[in-house]
Structure 1
Amino acid sequence: MANFRNVPTEQASTPKTRILNPALATAAWRGFVISHSPEIRPALRVGFGLAIPGTALLFLGRADLMVYAVFGSVVGMYGRSPHRMKRLKDQVLAGTMMLCAGVTGIVIAPWGMDGWELLAGGIFWACTSSLTTDRYGLKPGGSFFPVFAFGALASLPVGQSPSMAGLAAFVFTALFCIILGQTARFGSASRGFPGHDPIGWPKALRRAACYASVVLLAGTLAIGLQLEHLQWVMAGSVVPLAAGNARGRLSRGVHRVAGTVAGLGVLLGIYYLQLPELALGLVIIALMFPTEGYMTRNYGLALSFFTPLIMLMLELADPSVNADVLWERASGNMLGVLAGILGAQLFDRKPR
């Protein structure tokens, strides 16, 4: 029989005892926060950037305006520099980019644009936002958020005139996120994020041309197949281009598809609960926190939260949405991703 009398007390203690030790538990939590602080701090900033305006809209009985607030809160995703002035510059520039794309969509929404007209707008904002993010080194890079904001807001059923209440919610949330960004404090942990590396004009123009070609390819396929919800195809097509090489684009595309499928599963679970409108609005707010928290750490996992978020916000804006429409949107998004991977190989073979 083994002799345990000489075994040190620390080794003889059971794992359960060590886990329940308050000091060790506090140290473990502190270690978790430190190791995740580069993700937690921006996630809290972006989450509260939507939570405060979004909660105000819910209490005002305007859950239908949540879609505008969500796109306004995207401005908070930009500008993670520990230096306030650099962060302010990045957020003002990103805010201008997002506001121009979103306001354009809001203004043309009453026209009910679709097909080639909507595609032309998507190509324009894909090029413009690509040039902006590349030339000024904005993170996250690429054109996804401006293109999606333009297409989604331009496709909302608003009647004969633009939604002025939606415009106000969109602009107010974006400005609020810029102000909130100046109150946030980022320590040295923030330096772990990708730096700001502006790209020269020749390479930036080549990248913008690639974005235009990919969106054109994806949109042409969607129109030729008579698919509705062209805005989802355009948004999905620019996702793979944010990666730097063929392998990265394929990986990002796979993450996009996997995250979308997982997100649809989460969405079905939410639908099963049959939550009232107010509760759905709170779910949208809650989903923004993990979306931003995992965006740089695990893109696919982040999309499993982002997919139900965008589906729910668009449903609140247009209650006529049903299961068929949701599936069409998801399938259009996946078609766009595949077209983006193919288009990147055709139009931008040179690795970056």
Structure 2
Amino acid sequence: METDFKSLFVKELKSFFELKKSERLWHIPVLASLCVGIPLLIGYFTHRLDYGLLASTSGLVILHLPTTTVARRMITLLACSFGFMISYTIGLIFSFNPIVSALVIGLFSVAVHWVVRYFEMKPPSSFFFIMLASVASCMPFDPVQIPTRVGLVGMGAMLACMLAFVYSLYITQKYPPKDEVITVKKANFSNFVESLIIGSFMALSLLVGHLLKLQNPYWLPISCAAVLQGMSLHQVWQRSAQRILGTFLGLALTWGLLKFQMNELGICLSIMFLQFMIEMLIVRHYGLAVIFMTPLTIFLAEASHAMHISPDTLIQARWLDITLGSIIGGIAAFFLYHRKIRARTEQQIRKTGLTVLRR
């Protein structure tokens, strides 16, 4: 028994620090850096870094680029770009009340996760849609600014689409794509139950952030959604542990970078470098990627005043936010992958559906 536990522990420890092999081309990290960095640099040189930051966030739509034909690549990316704009719009519209916004984000997460699962989209699947909606829901409610903000999100996504089109023309000539059949998942009840669980915990995490009066409560649902990208309960818990450890090391890196007291241009260039490192590491080791992901997300959120805020205060706040969100994500995974709970929920939904039809 002791030998089995020891071997299991050693196995888990090795997998925790294992670097996976990847066939991913270096082009994607470079492309992602450009999609995030170009809007930032435009914003810096036009003295509207706040606009550049918003447009650069939507540039992450490039990570949804599939490895198929040019036509299918562009259709997918344009659809995701439209989804980014919808996500941000919904978050902004309902940001007038924290409780209402939490409920709406929960319902939105149910819908977007169900759609993503229905069409079997690959990672990052629903993560960035939920992230954009969560961030927007915590912004000050200002109806006058909604068209401008949504327009900037659209401009950032369109820039990513243009870069993706040029890249796709090149890469499909060098590596002709194989014929691919679009599959649609048929397990509707299973998809709905999974989406319902995720949506409930997205709403709960955002509500907890508001009730605790955190400065940026959107970090909780973002962290929760990030760890739920795992494909099994074991992988989710492993990701939670890696995210907490990676966040700790990433905050140390952030503290070091902030001590340099970089100007706005330095932060823009740092964001481009960090994005490149994340995309190089994310397919090899999630925890290592989180080390660079932590300063990236902090700079994206705090770039306009990162030079003037105390590094110690900023680090403490982010550590609490991300740890709480990761723990909530781990609890959500228990309900998400518990077979008995899912089976009972699916059975109850079927019964409710039949009762409604009979009436």
TM-score strictly above 0.5:
yes
Q: What is the aligned-residue RMSD (CA, Å)?
A: 3.0
Residue 325 of structure 1, CA deviation: 4.5
Shift of 1:144: 2.4
Please tell me the residue identity of whatever aligns with 1:296.
V
> 2:234 matched to 1:247?
yes
- Secondary structure of 2:218 counterpart: helix
Who is 2:313 aligned against?
Answer: 324
| Counterpart-to-counterpart distance in 2, 1:196 and 1:247 | 29
Distance 2:203 2:141 in 1: 27
Indicate whether 1:123 and 2:106 are aligned.
Answer: yes
Aligned to 1:151: 134
Higher mean C-alpha displacement, 134-143 vs 43-52: 134-143
> Does 172-181 or 252-261 show the bigger shift?
252-261
Q: 1:173: which partner in 2?
A: 156
Q: Is the 8 A contact 1:65 1:165 kept in 2?
A: no
- Residues 133 and 141 in structure 1, CA contact (< 8 A), matched pair in contact too: no
Equivalent in the alignment of 2:291: 304
What residue in structure 2 maps to residue 348 of structure 1?
A: 337
Distance 1:255 1:196 in 2: 33
Does residue 74 of structure 1 match 2:74?
no
Q: Kindly indicate whether the alpha-carbon contact (under 8 Å) linking 2:232 and 2:337 is maintained by their aligned counterparts in 1.
A: no
% same residue:
17
Partner AA of 1:210 in structure 2: I
Shift of 1:101: 0.7
CA drift of 1:36 comes to 6.2
Write out per-residue CA displacement over residues 69-107 of structure 1, whole angstroms, 9 at most, x where no aligned residue: 232111111023132122122212221221111233345
Distance (Å, rounded) in 2 between the aligned partners of 1:154 and 1:316: 19
Shift of 1:172: 0.7
Structure 1: which 5+ residue stretches go unaligned?
A: 1-34
Per the alignment, residue 118 of structure 2 pairs with 135
User: What amino acid is aligned across from residue 234 of structure 1 in structure 2?
Assistant: P
Deviation of 1:269 (Å): 1.4
Shift in alpha-carbon separation, 1:234–1:321, aligned structure 2, 3 A: farther
Which residue of structure 2 aligns with residue 11 of structure 1?
none
The gaps in structure 2 that reach 5 residues or longer are 1-20, 343-359
Letter of the 1:62 counterpart: R
**Alignment pair present for 1:51 and 2:40:** no
Work out the number of aligned pairs and report it: 313
Return the letter of the residue paired with 2:105: G
CA gap of 1:175–1:237, structure 2 versus 1, over 3 A, is: same
Aligned partner of 1:259 in structure 2 is 246
SS at match of 2:289: helix
Structure 1 residues 315, 163: CA separation in 2 closer, same or farther (over 3 Å shift)? farther
Q: Deviations along 1:216-259, whole A, 9 cap, x unmatched?
A: 44345445545443211111122232212111111111222122
Structure-2 separation of matches of 1:234 and 1:291:
20
Which residue identity is paired with 2:244? V
**Helix, strand or coil at the partner of 1:297:** coil
Q: State which structure, 1 or 2, has the greater radius of gyration over its C-alpha atoms.
A: 1
Q: Aligned ranges for residues 160-239 of structure 1 at < 5 Å? A: 161-162=144-145, 165-184=148-167, 185-186=170-171, 198-200=184-186, 201-223=188-210, 225-239=212-226
Q: Give the ranges of 4+ consecutive aligned residues of structure 1 lying more than 6 Å apart after TM superposition.
A: 188-192
Equivalent position of 1:24 in the other structure: none
